[in-house]
Structure 1
Amino acid sequence: MFKSIKKIHFVGIGGIGMSGIAEILMNQGFEVSGSDLHLSEVTKRLEELGAKIYEGHSAENVKDVDVLVYSSAVIPDNPEVRAASDKNIPIIKRAEMLAETMRMQYGIGIAGTHGKTTTTSMVGLTLTEGGIDPTIIVGGKLSGLGGTNARLGNGEFIVVEADEFDRTFLKLTPTIAAITTLEREHLDTYKDIDDIKTAFIEFANKVPFYGFVVICLDEPALQDIIPSINKTVFTYGITAQADVRAIDIEFEGFSGKYTVIYKGKELGQIKLNIPGEHYVKNSLVAVTIGMELGINFNTIKQALEKFTGVYRRFETKYQNDILVLDDYAHHPTETAATLAGIRAAWDRRLVVVFQPHLYSRTRDFYQDFGRSFLNSDVFLCTDIYPAREKPIDGINGEMIANITKKYGHKNVIYVQDKKDIPKKLMELKKKDDIIVTMGAGDIWKYGEKFVELLKEVKH
């Protein structure tokens, strides 16, 4: 019956989660169209691949489509969604379409509050190098995929990022599930931590009897849910009782290395081209899944040593007498992990520029953010990137700046207008600085403008 569907339209096709599915469907022979409020590199690439792209949303855009796909970010009264409803065109969420793409293959779903994109990428690359030829759909542009976020393979497996936002990952039915972390997040969707745990238990138990679940034993909340998972479980981490462990972890500059212990047996050393203990743990998921699927350890090792990162995940923007990095971290645990990774690899002055993402997240976590930034030497904070949200009275970026000061940070600067950030960085920069822009919004643009100013001075 799916064969009768020829034309698929995506509302918000420029979103990183939507574009990957659109690309896979095009590669499978479907006629894809889509709209977005703003055209981008992502929409340009899809257009070059053959998609019909519209700037802005209009009922006219869906007059000749078989199905409409929309994401959680699309408002209910969107004109294209309304028009499709009026014409009795099937309307489905992004997660349902992702589930459909998984249905005909063995699905590997990578879930967790943090680390999903990097882990999905590492697993996908490992399976590719191992000759399994997987289809991959990831929530970030991956250099190993030629700068895109999707790959159509001819093998039996599909590797996808399973997002817990809006409980969308519960639409998926993975054969192999991995859970990297579990914390309070998306409190507009979940009542509390117990509600989040219940959802992750449900996700893990969707695995069939012949599949398995890979779970991080270092995470207290994941330790809590393991007894409720009634499928085969493999644990990983640095904890002594983990089935797959990393020991002898070392970092220097952009590289790190560790030794793998797999079910009590030492397999050898793995080198990573990205620093941070959290990346070591992410790579252990790829080791675990790769070994369980019969991939030779040396192949897994070579695959992970080829991994050069994901767009906006610890990405180098400039490297000279000053190192400029950009990172997608937008939750306190992520900001703390990124700063810890930098501190472990370099002994240099660390300047952090943070753009909070969402009013609700700022309200819920501003104190935790403040604590995480105590690990910086200079902390700049700008105002909130609202994304899908409307303002909440009294909630702004200055809350994070103020609480960071109260906790004892001696060099905090609040820059309300993000456009002033490049100039401010030029004023305070010093030789050998590491300057990192952080956040899930558009803060990376202002890091790039700062780099342009640096290059002008060099010339």
Structure 2
Amino acid sequence: MSGWARVAGQLGATVSGSDRAESPALDHLRALGVEVHVGHDAANVPAGADVFHSSAIPADNPERTAGRPSLPRAELLRRLTALKRVIAVAGAHGKTTTTSMAAHALLGAGLAPGYLIGGALRSTGEHADWGSHRSGGWLVVEADESDRSMLALDTDVAVVLNIELDHHATYGSLAEVVEVFDAFRAAAPQVVAAPELARPGDIVFAPEDLVLEPGGSRFGWRGHEVRLVVPGAHNARNAAAALEACRLTGADEAALVAALAGFSGAGRRFERLGHTRSGAEVVDDYAHHPTEVAATIAAARSLRPRRLVACFQPHLFSRTRELYREFGAALAAADVACVLDVYPARERAEDFPGVSGLLVAEAAADAADGREVLWLPTLAEAERVLGPRLREGDLVLVMGAGDVDALGRALVVA
């Protein structure tokens, strides 16, 4: 929402907003001249304002019931995407990174696109920007299936990376997820899809002759050699998808490839935070699904650490209840696994009796074949126990969609 606030301001709107607690995002908005409030109160809403809310805001929130009816964020997305030609990137995994890659590549190719991304684009430091044209031009958007807001987008190029059941509070089955993706792609004139999901008429993406290297990869694409400095086979797939989508804008292929060689990642996506006092490297990642955890651990292995320590914070009780065994199996691939308690986000513990991060820790211990598994429920406990155990040559992964990044930053020497 903070990125969309920035774009609304660029388009001439007077923007204000609120969040339940202080955060770097609020400080960033203040620096942009956006009026922000800590805490939710009807008095925060200016008279006559259009109010938009994220799916994390409950219906009884006082700002949703103040004045005119509050509109879901999907409506704001619909209005913004109607103003430009749109590349919309969808998938259970990798959409933030792929959207960031596409925006970065188009910027490097000189197209000055707009972008709306769930993480900060490291090359600009921003989640969002409207680009060089008030209307017209290209806009690269992360399409979110979690609340079906992807269906509100006015899309010209739809990118489908993968499909998997992730948001168990929204969908009752994988079939429901597939239906939403089908509707998303049917509304777009052009579709870029993974080989296993492609249908007649789709443009298929896949890296050719992929070679994984320490901290990166190289592969072929339409006669070009593509080099990446972000690790993992999954990022090579993401890059191939981004290149195919960007090619449809008419951008020069060689310029796109050259730009991607300088792509260093998106915020909280394999973000290298620094080193601990003992010399261990700390990496933060937003991975919050077993497939993502496994891919991130595999990418970390490409850096060839002495020892890989994976510290995971489950996100949502509903997801933990459904997938704790799969999380445990993914974490067991680390040399040491550390599990924190569940970050509840919009859910309440009392609605999910018996569900905690301990389920994940026990599943990891069952699958770890004797490797160490630590149950450290709080960030403070994890920092206190992990800090003295880390050594030079270790790589520490802190993973999750909650506030586990604070642990990573606490471990790093300022």
Q: TM-score, normalised by structure 1?
A: 0.85
1:308 to 257, 264, 273: 264
The within-5 A match list for 1:31-70 is 31-70=14-53
Find the aligned partners of 1:422 and 1:56 in 2 and give their Cα distance. 29
Report what 2:191 is aligned to.
213
Mapped contact 2:17–2:37 kept (Cα < 8 A): yes
- Give a deviation string over 1:355-400, Cα, whole Å, max 9, x none: 1111011001001111111210001111111011011100000111
Find the aligned partners of 1:409 and 1:128 in 2 and give their Cα distance. 47
Find the aligned partners of 1:110 and 1:335 in 2 and give their Cα distance. 21
Report what 1:420 is aligned to.
381
Higher helix share: 1
The within-5 A match list for 1:215-234 is 215-217=193-195, 219=196, 222=197, 226=199, 232-234=201-203
Per the TM alignment, residue 77 of structure 1 is displaced from its structure 2 partner at its CA by: 0.4
**Do residues 111 (structure 1) and 90 (structure 2) align?**
yes
Find the aligned partners of 1:409 and 1:365 in 2 and give their Cα distance. 20
1:354/1:281 CA distance change after superposition, 3 Å: same
Find the aligned partners of 1:33 and 1:280 in 2 and give their Cα distance. 39
1:167 to 148, 158, 168: 148
Find the aligned partners of 1:187 and 1:151 in 2 and give their Cα distance. 31
Q: Which has the higher contact order (CA 8 A, sep 6+)?
A: 2
Report what 1:182 is aligned to.
163
- SS of the residue corresponding to residue 280 of structure 1 reads helix
Report what 1:28 is aligned to.
11
Per the TM alignment, residue 90 of structure 1 is displaced from its structure 2 partner at its CA by: 4.5
Q: How many residues align?
A: 406
The one-letter amino acid of 1:450's match is: L
Percent of pairs identical after alignment?
Answer: 35
1:433 to 375, 394, 401: 394
**Do residues 404 (structure 1) and 364 (structure 2) align?**
yes
Report what 2:238 is aligned to.
282
The within-5 A match list for 1:249-264 is 249-252=211-214, 254-260=215-221, 262=222
1:354 to 297, 312, 315: 312
The one-letter amino acid of 1:99's match is: R
More off after superposition, 160-169 vs 48-57 = 48-57
Mapped contact 1:249–1:259 kept (Cα < 8 A): no
The one-letter amino acid of 1:363's match is: R
**Do residues 127 (structure 1) and 85 (structure 2) align?**
no
**Do residues 100 (structure 1) and 61 (structure 2) align?**
no
Find the aligned partners of 1:250 and 1:407 in 2 and give their Cα distance. 27
RMSD: 1.5
1:235 to 204, 207, 210: 204
- SS of the residue corresponding to residue 329 of structure 1 reads coil
The one-letter amino acid of 2:213's match is: F
Report what 1:204 is aligned to.
185
Per the TM alignment, residue 47 of structure 1 is displaced from its structure 2 partner at its CA by: 1.7
Find the aligned partners of 1:414 and 1:96 in 2 and give their Cα distance. 42
**Do residues 151 (structure 1) and 129 (structure 2) align?**
yes
More off after superposition, 338-347 vs 131-140 = 338-347
Per the TM alignment, residue 347 of structure 1 is displaced from its structure 2 partner at its CA by: 4.7
Find the aligned partners of 2:254 and 2:46 in 1 and give their Cα distance. 53
Structure 2 segments unaligned to the other structure (5+ residues): none
**Do residues 388 (structure 1) and 349 (structure 2) align?**
no
- SS of the residue corresponding to residue 375 of structure 1 reads coil
